[in-house]
Amino acid sequence: MNIKYTRVVDKLPSLVPFVGPEAQERSMEKIFNARIGANESVFGPSLKAISAMEKEINHTWKYADPENYDLKLALANKHNVNFDNIIVGEGIDGLLGYLVRLLVEKGDNVVTTDGAYPTFNYHVEGFGGVLHKIPFKNDTEDLEKLLSKAKETSAKILYVSNPNNPMGTINSTLSIKKLIDNLPKKTLLCLDEAYADFVSLDLIPEISTNTPNVIRMRTFSKAYGMAGARVGYGIGAKELILNFEKIRNHFGMSRISQVGALASLEDFEFINNVVLKVRLSLEKIAKIAVYNNCRVLPSHTNFIAIDCCKDVDFAKRVLDNLILQGVFVRMPYSNPQNRCIRVTAGLDEDIKLFEQAFPIALKKSE
């Protein structure tokens, strides 16, 4: 080999953070009948977004506005913050990459929960950071231990998802505020709130944008039903947000996506309707789980963790069998969370397929 990669890249494994359902479909040589595994929103985008995207196709020969001006303005209004408290990027995935790049050098410490979002870990390792993982406590992120680990390691970033993925649980606003108050000054809290739109407002902490070491991440991939459009954003202190401008791919956004996201913000009824549909769907999934002698975790998201009440090998067999039956679901990575499978809210026909497949999967896994 002649080309010399950077020292960090040279040591990276060739692993990818996620395998997509399309790859599974290709290897099975069949299409999933129910796609309820990636916490996408099968309820789709707002009709206003759809109409705006349709119209914008004629303008896709133009680069998108690199400043994301209109979208940032609308988001600033929505969250009652200033324009320069908002950074828009290619999904939370893209923003997490930028954030890690801003802060993490080779050997820097980063703290997260064991079993939390793999793409965050992927970025940390991709920039040479050292991950410290704290186990879930009762299937909830253990803020106290996360904080002490951040202190102990002088972590550059502490990653907390709230509500969290893959368990669907939430930490109280009080505990989040306490965490922020006690954060080491050199640690940035990355609060991943991808699922915040499913949560009633009183469960979301108020955080002043004067707080220099907190960024909250939001997305159009979940409640807004636009995962394929790749629009995420961060809310944070002006100085932090400004630093993204130094490194981000200014022309990274799709023009159609930008316009779709903006239009969906103008559809005030939309989110309430989705949240209702999701709640009803999750109730049905929960009923099916309980009917089959499983338990469910309380969910504050658009998915639900079903505790199969046995060990990881059993849950893995259940998962594999569901996939074999054409039902795409996923499961947590960490132990003992991997006693569960994770099912995303679906349409009635998706849930019906799950209802048929689940008892078969349980039985075949015994």
Query: What is the number of residues in the chain?
Result: 366
User: How many residues sit in the footprint of a second copy (CB under 8 A)?
Assistant: 85
The DSSP letter of residue 198 is G
Among 77, 78, 105, 311, binds a second copy (CB under 8 A): 105
How far apart, in whole angstroms, are the C-alpha atoms of residue 210 and residue 273? 33
Q: Does 218 bind a second copy (CB under 8 A)?
A: no
Q: How many CA atoms does the CB half-sphere of 159 hold within 13 Å?
A: 32
Among 28, 30, 31, 69, binds a second copy (CB under 8 A): 69
Contacts of 93 by beta carbon, 8 Å cutoff, 6+ apart: 119, 230, 232
Among 36, 43, 191, 209, binds a second copy (CB under 8 A): 43
How far apart, in whole angstroms, are the C-alpha atoms of residue 199 and residue 168? 11
> Hey, which residues between 251 and 310 contact a second copy (CB under 8 A)?
251-257, 260
> Hey, which residues between 169 and 198 contact a second copy (CB under 8 A)?
185-186, 188
- Which residue, 49 or 296, is less far from a second copy as judged by CB? 49
Contacts of 64 by beta carbon, 8 Å cutoff, 6+ apart: 251, 253, 254, 255, 257, 258
> Hey, which residues between 2 and 31 contact a second copy (CB under 8 A)?
2-7, 9, 12-14, 16-20, 22-23, 26
Q: Does 234 bind a second copy (CB under 8 A)?
A: no
By the 8 A CB rule, do 312 and 320 touch?
no
CB of 359 to a second copy, least distance (A): 27
In this structure, what token pair is assigned to residue 127?
A: 């920039």
Q: Does 142 bind a second copy (CB under 8 A)?
A: no
Among 250, 287, 363, 364, binds a second copy (CB under 8 A): 250
Among 138, 246, 269, 366, binds a second copy (CB under 8 A): 246
Q: Does 107 bind a second copy (CB under 8 A)?
A: no
How far apart, in whole angstroms, are the C-alpha atoms of residue 89 and residue 260? 14
> Hey, which residues between 72 and 91 contact a second copy (CB under 8 A)?
90-91
In this structure, what token pair is assigned to residue 78?
A: 């929505």
- Which residue, 99 or 196, is less far from a second copy as judged by CB? 99
CB of 357 to a second copy, least distance (A): 20
Among 72, 94, 192, 365, binds a second copy (CB under 8 A): 94
Q: What is the CA radius of gyration of the chain?
A: 20
CB of 366 to a second copy, least distance (A): 33
The DSSP letter of residue 269 is H
CB of 56 to a second copy, least distance (A): 8
Q: Does 64 bind a second copy (CB under 8 A)?
A: yes
- Which residue, 73 or 309, is less far from a second copy as judged by CB? 73
Taking CB under 8 A as the binding criterion, the range among 36-44, 159-167, 290-298, 304-312 that sits at the site for a second copy is 36-44
**H-helix or E-strand spanning residue 145:** helix 143-153
Taking CB under 8 A as the binding criterion, the range among 244-252, 275-283, 287-295, 297-305 that sits at the site for a second copy is 244-252
How far apart, in whole angstroms, are the C-alpha atoms of residue 263 and residue 258? 9
**H-helix or E-strand spanning residue 238:** helix 238-244
How far apart, in whole angstroms, are the C-alpha atoms of residue 237 and residue 271? 27
In this structure, what token pair is assigned to residue 255?
A: 């023009």
